[in-house]
Every structure is written in C-alpha cells, then in structure tokens.
Amino acid sequence: GPSFLFPQAIPMRCITAPLPCSWLHAKSALLPLSAAVSVPSPPKPKSFPTTHPRQATSRYSRIRFPPTLASSPKAFTPLPTAFGGAYALSRGLSSAANVDTAPAAIVSATRGTSAEGIRVVRVKWEDGTEDEYSAFWLRDHCTDPSSWDAFNQQKTVETKDIPDAIFASSVSVLEGGARLEVGWNHKIQGVGSSVYDAAWLRANRHGTSEPDSVPTITWGAEMRENFSSVSVPFDQVMSSESGVLRVLETTRKHGICFVSGTPLDKTLSQQLVERIAPVQHTIYGGFWETVVKSEEESDNIDSAYSSVALPAHTDGNYFIDTPGLQIFHCLQQDQTGGETLLVDGFRVAENVQKKDPEAFRVLSEVSVPYQHTDSEWHLRAKHRTIGVDEHGCLQSVHFNNLDRDTLRVPIG
C-alpha cells in the first residue's frame, strides 16, 4: 500500500477530504487545487501514510523547505514587490525572481553607492549581468572565524555592533573570479577584510530564491493517472538517505508523496515518520488513531471521528503553529466508499491570481479566524488563506470552512 506525504501549511499546500475509516495519524513539524483528484478506495485494506511538507512552523525543529517557487512549466508567477533599505540583501541589475544555480565567475568588482544612497559593492559576472551588494549586508554575512562559528553554523558578531557607516575600503577578485575579497574601513573583532565565494554571492543575490530551492509543480485531475511520479518505495526510504531525500524533494515539488509498499504495522509507520521528520506533539499527541465513533464513545467532537464525508480542507488551522507535514496511514478500510479527495492548493491559488487578482490580494492579506472546541481545549488562531513571502511568491494555503470562526468584516 502507498503512504501519503502532504505539505500542510509550509502551511499547507495539499487540501484533503478523507472519508471515515481507521487511520494512524501523525503530524511532523517541518517547515511543511482547482481540479480535484479522487483516489479510489482499494478492494482490500491498504496502507496509506501521507505527508504534507509545505507548512513550515517557526518554533519547532523542522526541515526547511524554501518557499519560493522556481520557474517551471506550471510554476507560480511571483508578484512584483519592492525590497530596499540599508539592509537590502542585494539588488540584481538584471532582475530575476527565480532560482539561479548557474555557475558564474566574477569578472570585476567595484565600490560605489546605490541609487538609494546605500554603500554597495558592484559585481560584474562573466555572463554579462551585474549585481549590487550592500556593504552592511556583506559584513553581516562575513564567515571569518572571528565572525562565524563553522562548527555550529552560528554568527558570533552582533548585527547591532556593525556601524551604519561601514563601507568597502577595497575590493579584489581572487582565484580567477572564484572569490571576492572586501576590505573594510572599520575592523570588528580584529577583522579587516572578508572573503566570499562567487557561487554563494551569485546564489544569494537579491531577487533570487534560496539556492537549494526545488521547483514547485502544481497539478489537477491529471495526477490521478500519474501517481507513480510521486511514489517512493517504503524499503528505499527506510534503507537509504537517497530515499529520504527523494521523499522530501517529491513532497516539496508536488505537495504530495506516496510511500508505496508500507506494511500494515503501526510500529513501522512510526519509524517511517520519524525517519522523515521530528514529530510535533499537539493536543492529539504525537501519533493517534482516527476512527469512526459514536457521540457516547468519543471524547473529541471533531467531525473527523464521525461518519460524515468531509469537504476539501487543510488541518490544524486553529493552531498558531500549523502542522508542517501530515502523515496518514490507512490501516483498515471498508470495501466500498472511503475515497480520499486530494486538491493542490497551489494550483487553486494560481488560478485565483490569474482570474481574479483582487480576490487573490484579499485572500493573501486578510487573516481568517479558526477555532477548535472539545471537552478539554478551546483553541483559536488566525491565518491568511493564501500566504506569500516577501517576494510575493506563494508559500502556503490555509482553508477549512468547518473550523472557521466568526468573521468580523464590514458589510460591502
């Protein structure tokens, strides 16, 4: 049987609507659909673990999935946004908002002042493009042993201790364009110059996404015929690092992954989850079973425990830290019914942006309240339906009409 890996709110990308059956359920703290896909129920009980990775949380340990969507046949088109100020990362004169992994050597570097009056270092690349890097930003990212601990990957110089008036007193291209050395007008902890790799500068120029970003591809009903492209064998995941990487990349790229051949065993299900990401403990625990119960049997009033079919939704919106990755493992299923609806929230967001930009703006700016109430807990939180990053690139989707709290909005 396959296992699902869905990104929940990086917050969540994949919107699901499972009908009642017996599930082993887990949530991992990761950083974690206009056309719907209906997954047919199997003729006999199957194993269905699922994972959602696009719901990145800020407080829990997690694997970070860069939110920016790269260029691809169906990639999300970023909205234009301004980004400036004295601490601007860098300004690409050849502007680009997609991932730049092409190797490039530095042809020349000069000191100067940007149009906004910011002290900068200008870099000209061998492909003819140019970039400006804030002197303040460069000093703040110095990796000299006196400024950066390579062992724990932590900064040892406080940003507040870098003077606003810092600027490059000299610049030199080293090793045939592979590195750039910047001399400083002011020493900090004895450091008078910093050296930067050209590849790192190229990857981190302003207007580009994180260098290890995986292109995001959205999908609709065609995914029904293409599950093999998002499937990874259970044995491969458990026996190799490449298997784990494949799961993470598949989930990051498509918003869903199936781990095929997962045994009908709760212990192995837990081992699979823990191999992929640390488990986020909530009011439900770390791992728990979702089964249909009567009102007398259940101590949780959530509709997931009823026999009612659920509409498409993302889970955990009433948590401040929504799940990054959700894993579902179906241990027992009826011979008929019990189909799971899968919807790609990023595809929905794409279509909304194209067809109704004003609606997209509202959904990406206005927070929606959510709540959960049971015999022990009353949880409330707010989230934007469509989350975008500072570049305007799609980052998350939160949608659950079942758990939505009272909307306090003006008429009209």
pLDDT of residue 37: 40
**pLDDT band, residue 243 (cuts 50/70/90):** very high
**pLDDT band, residue 33 (cuts 50/70/90):** very low
Question: What distance in Å separates the CA atoms of residue 40 and residue 230, rounded to the nearest whole number?
Answer: 16
Question: What distance in Å separates the CA atoms of residue 85 and residue 96, rounded to the nearest whole number?
Answer: 19
**pLDDT band, residue 176 (cuts 50/70/90):** very high
Report pLDDT digits (tens) over 49-70: 333 333 322 222 222 222 322 2
Report pLDDT digits (tens) over 319-328: 998 888 888 8
Closest CA to 398 of 351, 356, 345: 345
Report pLDDT digits (tens) over 99-135: 455 558 999 999 999 888 899 999 999 999 999 999 9
**Domain positions in the chain:** 4-66+215-345, 90-203
Q: Is the pTM of this model over 0.85?
A: no
Q: Is the pLDDT of residue 81 over 80?
A: no
Q: Is the pLDDT of residue 36 over 70?
A: no
- Across the range 138-158, mean pLDDT stands at 92
Q: Which of 160-164, 241-245, 293-297, 388-392 has the lowest mean pLDDT?
A: 293-297
Question: What distance in Å separates the CA atoms of residue 17 and residue 150, rounded to the nearest whole number?
Answer: 45
CATH of 90-203 given 1.10.10.10, 3.30.2020.30, 3.30.1130.10, 3.40.640.10: 3.30.2020.30
Question: What distance in Å separates the CA atoms of residue 347 and residue 80, rounded to the nearest whole number?
Answer: 19
CB within 8 A of 61, min separation 6: which ones? 29, 278
Q: Which residue has the higher pLDDT, 65 or 285?
A: 285
Report pLDDT digits (tens) over 190-232: 999 999 999 999 988 876 555 446 788 999 999 989 989 999 9
Q: Which residue has the higher pLDDT, 211 or 385?
A: 385
